[in-house]
Structure 1
């Protein structure tokens, strides 16, 4: 049902590789000759040309210089950076802590009008309480062995969630019932988070659907993904964040969201599931 979240990344890599190969051919160089000019092994040239090894920006500049095409280096480096942004390892993104990562997406949140979010593992970030966010982010930092600035990052996460209460933004949120039961933090913290869900689902711009344990599945539980209008899909893997903008892939995630939405419960039925989860904390 879901597209491979790395397919757009690989396509972008292949386009860059093809452009580099064309430059070599136009310069009438063999792969061996290009490698000698760049000061690396012929195997490296081959891996780059066949999109098996992503080139660094320095590799691209050296390649263009060797081919007498320095004027094309800037565009290729820009394309390479875009490809890098499509698949970002969490450890790289969080190497200086997580607060910066929260702040970097604020422009995306503010310009998005329709959010469609599916989460199978945690409460969606834009409706997390600060206490829940601290508990979750500290666990992530410990697992990734990255700096723990969970308190500052959680405060930034809550601040960026002003879009839920301000401006012209609509939120369609889907979570699996299991998310209500997962103990992220202690019982009091979870009760506060679930209580906040009960409050936020009454907002006129928020639709909260919960997929019950008993639902007849039309779509199996998927990795968490966020749809920002029809412009971008962000997928959360264990090791990386994947951002895709290819219309065909966005359409697949939109189809999955639509079918998941059909088996979710809303309104009073959703409130019953949240309330039962709160009572189970006693």
Structure 2
């Protein structure tokens, strides 16, 4: 994935590898360093190869374990440099959907709590495979360059395993428009709405719906994800934004909480979903 974000993360990984190989007491193998840190060897590999972003605690532990504690200031500065990153859809899709999905999946894997807002599409972590296929196809048609649609569908479905792991929590808000947008055939949307109904009450999912009739304090636009108060992933037509500076995270958290004030939950959310389900007619077709 050729993005500023990934390039910066890869550069940090190269620096981490240098520290491992220049340990004053002698170069360490990845497994030796993992043992010192009490980590799985795969974590060392992911950090060095730019497939995972280390936390400040990870970087401090790395500097200490490689007997170069003074390097932490530099590592922390590199991490702070990740503040704002733009991933162009067209450029990213030149390599297909798979790298894009893998990068987000890696961030989700290390996340305990997710806050999601979607104004016009069902949140990806709640999508059925058929619904996901139509959404991904629409983006592929619009932007071009990606042909691995089935790989992307499988990746998105596999990501949903996160919902069933202990200690995870998804807080998701959707505008009623997301329940009614015919981005897919009515039969596919009907199955998707049935799935949403079944997810109300899950221990790991808090599903809020903002009805069309709700009074709004902010314009319901721009879908985004907040991962553990650590990073925000926001989407626009031209690019995906990755933000991890405190000010932007606080802003998006404020937006999410403002939107939540207009949402309904439980039985009321169930009623909104069922109304959208009843409005579907077998004779209606998806927008071409």
Q: Is the 8 A contact 2:83 2:244 kept in 1?
A: no
Q: How many residues align?
A: 208
Paired residue for 1:144? 143
1:146-173 Cα distance to aligned partner (Å, 9 max, x none): 2222222111101011101123210110
**C-alpha spacing 1:187/1:160, structure 2 compared with 1 (3 Å):** same
1:24-55 Cα distance to aligned partner (Å, 9 max, x none): xxxxxxxxxxxxxxxxxxxxxxxxxxxxxxxx
Paired residue for 1:91? 90
User: What pairs with 1:56-205 in structure 2 (closer than 5 Å)?
Assistant: 86-205=85-204
SS of equivalent residue, structure 2 residue 192: helix
Q: Is the 8 A contact 1:234 1:241 kept in 2?
A: yes
* Alignment gaps of 5+ in structure 2: 9-73, 282-288
Paired residue for 1:277? 276
TM-superposed CA distance for 1:280, in Å, is 1.0
TM-superposed CA distance for 1:105, in Å, is 1.9
TM-superposed CA distance for 1:220, in Å, is 1.1
Q: Is the 8 A contact 1:113 1:170 kept in 2?
A: yes
Q: C-alpha root-mean-square deviation of aligned residues, in Å?
A: 2.2
SS of equivalent residue, structure 1 residue 88: strand
Paired residue for 1:50? none
Give distance in 1, aligned partners of 2:104 and 2:178.
24
* Alignment gaps of 5+ in structure 1: 1-8, 13-74
Give distance in 2, aligned partners of 1:246 and 1:182.
33
Q: Is the 8 A contact 1:115 1:170 kept in 2?
A: yes
With the length of structure 1 as denominator, give the TM-score of the two structures: 0.69
Give distance in 1, aligned partners of 2:248 and 2:114.
16
With the length of structure 2 as denominator, give the TM-score of the two structures: 0.68
Q: Is the 8 A contact 2:93 2:144 kept in 1?
A: no
Q: Is the 8 A contact 1:235 1:242 kept in 2?
A: yes
**C-alpha spacing 1:139/1:84, structure 2 compared with 1 (3 Å):** farther
Paired residue for 1:250? 249
1:217-272 Cα distance to aligned partner (Å, 9 max, x none): 11111200100011111110111000111111100110111111111011101111
Paired residue for 1:235? 234
Give distance in 1, aligned partners of 2:104 and 2:241.
14
Give distance in 1, aligned partners of 2:216 and 2:175.
11
Q: Is the 8 A contact 2:84 2:245 kept in 1?
A: no
Give distance in 2, aligned partners of 1:237 and 1:261.
21
Higher gyration radius (CA):
1
Give distance in 2, aligned partners of 1:149 and 1:202.
34
Give distance in 2, aligned partners of 1:86 and 1:168.
29
SS of equivalent residue, structure 2 residue 136: helix
1:86-143 Cα distance to aligned partner (Å, 9 max, x none): 1000111111221221122222111111100000121111111100110000110010
SS of equivalent residue, structure 1 residue 105: helix
